[in-house]
Structure formats: C-alpha cells, structure tokens
Amino acid sequence: MTSTTSTAAPPDGAGRGGPDGTGAGADIAALIAEAPVPQPTLAKTFGAMMAREFRVLRRNSISTFMRAVMQPLLFVFVFTYVMPKIGGGFMFGGTAGAAAASGSGAAGAVNFATILVPGLMASMLLMQGIMAVTFPLVMEFSWQRTIEDRALAPVPIQVLGVQKISAGAVQSFLGALIVFPIVLLVHAAGQAPHVHVTNWALLVLILVTASLLTSALGLLLGTVMDPRKMQMVFAAILLPATMLGCVYYPWSAMHQIRWLQLLILINPMVYMSEGLRAVLTPGVGHMPMWAILTVLVGGTAVFGYLGTRTFTRRVLN
C-alpha cells in the first residue's frame, strides 16, 4: 500500500475490477495528474448554478408548463367563458364593473376579464414563486440533505440563497407572462379584457420586483416551515393571500368594507395585483403607484434579507 512510485502504475488490486467495474487504477491516477486548474469566481459559480436550474427546468418542461398553464387557463375559462355564458355576464361583470367605475371615476363597463388579468398574473407570481423555491428546498433539507451539494461550491452560503431567489424569480416571471396569451385568447364573445400598457418600463419593473418578492418569500417559507406542516403553507398563506389579494376585485372597490380594505394592506399580494392593474388596465381604479413600488421593493429587501439569513442558518448548523 505504501510502496509506491509517482508513476501511474495501479497498485495491488486496483486492476482487479469487480461486478461494478472499477478496473481503472491508472485512469484514476491520471485524474490527479491531468486535472485542470479551476479558477472559480463568484460570477462563474453563480452562472453555473443558474445554468443548472435551467437544465432542470428544460428536463421537466412538460410538468413545469402544465403547472404554469393549468391554473390560469381554467380560471379564465370558467370566469370569462363559462360564467358569462350561463349568467349573461351579469353577476361578475356587472358588480365589479360598477365598483371599479365608482372607484376610478371612469365611466363605462369594465368586464370581469379586465379585472382578472392583473389579478391572475399576481396570483401566478405567488404560486410559481413558492412552487419553484419552497418545495424543492424542503426536499433539499430533508434527510439526505442534498443541499450540501451546492453548499460546498466555492461561494458564501448567502450567495446560494440569493441564487435560489433569482432562479425562482425567473420561473415566477415566466409564470405571470403565460397569463397574457390565455386571457387574450380564451373568453366568450364580447368578454375580451381591455388591456392597455401605458408604461412598458413600469410594467417590467413591477413584474421583476414582484417576481423577486414572491421567490424571496418562498425562500423564507422553505427555511422556516417544518416540512411536515407544508400543507399549512396552502391553508394559512397561499389561500388567504390569493382570496384577499385583490385578485378578483380592485382594492378601490373594497371601500364598501372599510375594515377589510385596511386589513388586507398587510398582504403583499394586494400590491402586486394593484401594481399590475395600474400598468395593464388603467381603466380600473388602483392604489397610488408610490405605495405599490415602496412595498414591492421594500418587501423584496426585507424578505430577501430574512430568507437568506434563515437559509444560511439552516445550511450551517
């Protein structure tokens, strides 16, 4: 075992091989001698980690696509095709439109599809952000702790947390974009949404910050939640955030129920829905842009800070 020279000769037994086939002592020796000298930098490692995410996304493209498409497709189908057909568009289009009109002061019929476009996009942002970050994280922290694979990459652990937020934000962003073609194509006659982008830069800014916000929230949830209580995420977070997140109604219309209108201000979803409403469907009343941007940017910073902190603590025990 110790009688060696520095040549690549396989020692006793190395050429033996087995059913698993490791008869490659010389090859293994060459691995050391002929190894490239790596020069990792933060940017290269970060880029490689992102490339890994896209490879996995591409491999799972069908399931990822299904996950991203089915929810908005069914929502839009039921609310802008089925409901208007069976109810004559009365129930939803009527009341929401009236409320929107009273909120914004703009007259004219705002149909439900128009209310739903920004709301559905916000809902997708949240759903995709959590699905893309929280659930994989729970797996990575489970008994095999596969998180250690990337934790050993030559970057600080915080960078790994930021990378997870970035990768989740990309999925969240794409998930929101998928809503566009669906709402434009699927609706009953005369029920097309009135979408009019007033400011493209602002739209991109809101989509990007909202994507980062949801995926930072996803990181925080994935690191603080007990894996055995993951169903709680749906019941206690996703469901109330969506139902009370101005997805199906504009915030201004809530003035009828003042206490609720104030209570839901703690819900980040409200600002995502309203922000998108402001830039996509200006015909519908929305809350002031300064409030929207303050919460989206501030919320991203707060959740990002808390998420990477709890993440680092979980990785380094």
Partner 1 sequence: MTDRAARAPTAPGPGPGAAIGAGTAIRTADLRKTYQTSRGDVPAVRGIDLNVPSGELFGLLGPNGAGKSTTIGMLTTLVLPTGGRAWVAGLDVVADPVGVKRRIGVVTQNNTLDMQLTVAENLEFRSRFFGLGSGEASRRAGQLIDAFGLGDRRNAMATDLSGGQARRLLIARALVHRPEVLFLDEPTAGLDPQTRVNLWDILRVLHDQGQSILLTTHYMEEAEALCDRIAVVDHGEVLARGTVDELKEGTGADTVITVRYEGAVPDGLVAETGLAARPGVEKVETGHDRIRVFASDPDGVLGELVAAGARAGLTVRDAAQLKPSLETVFLNLTGREYRE
Quick check: 151 binds partner 1 (CB under 8 A)? yes
Quick check: 41 binds partner 1 (CB under 8 A)? yes
Longest dimension (CA), the chain: 92
Q: Which of 84, 118, 132, 150 lies at the binding interface for partner 1 (CB under 8 A)?
A: 150
Stretch that binds partner 1, among 2-10, 174-182, 215-223, 252-260 (CB under 8 A): 2-10
Element containing residue 208 per DSSP (H, E): helix 200-224
Dihedral of CA 136/142/144/145: which sign? positive
Q: Which two structure tokens, joined as six digits, stand for 47?
A: 């880029």
Rg (C-alpha) for the chain, rounded Å, is 25
Nearest residue (CB) to partner 1, 63 versus 256 = 63
Quick check: 27 binds partner 1 (CB under 8 A)? yes
Quick check: 277 binds partner 1 (CB under 8 A)? no
**Integer Cα distance of 174 and 280 in angstroms:** 17
Quick check: 190 binds partner 1 (CB under 8 A)? no
Q: Which two structure tokens, joined as six digits, stand for 84?
A: 């208007």
Nearest distance from residue 4's CB to partner 1, in Å?
A: 4
Nearest distance from residue 196's CB to partner 1, in Å?
A: 41
Q: Which of 61, 146, 199, 294 lies at the binding interface for partner 1 (CB under 8 A)?
A: 146
- In degrees rounded to 5, what are phi and psi of residue 130? -75, -45
Nearest distance from residue 177's CB to partner 1, in Å?
A: 24
- Which pairs count as long-range contacts for 184-189, CB under 8 Å and 24+ apart, including other chains? 186/73, 186/76, 186/77, 186/80, 186/81, 187/76, 187/80, 187/81, 187/84, 187/113, 188/80, 188/81, 188/84, 188/85, 188/89
Quick check: 227 binds partner 1 (CB under 8 A)? no
Nearest residue (CB) to partner 1, 36 versus 105 = 36
**Integer Cα distance of 202 and 168 in angstroms:** 21
In the three-class reduction of DSSP (H, G, I as helix; E, B as strand; rest coil), residue 97 is classed as: helix
Quick check: 224 binds partner 1 (CB under 8 A)? no
Quick check: 25 binds partner 1 (CB under 8 A)? yes
Nearest distance from residue 163's CB to partner 1, in Å?
A: 11
Phi-psi region of 81 (alpha: psi -120 to 50; beta: other; left: phi over 0): alpha
Quick check: 37 binds partner 1 (CB under 8 A)? yes
Quick check: 226 binds partner 1 (CB under 8 A)? no
* Site map (CB under 8 A) of partner 1, residues 126-145, x = contact: -----------------xxx
Site residues (CB under 8 A) for partner 1?
1-2, 4, 6, 10-11, 13-14, 16-25, 27-41, 44-45, 47-49, 51-52, 55-56, 59-60, 143-156, 315-317
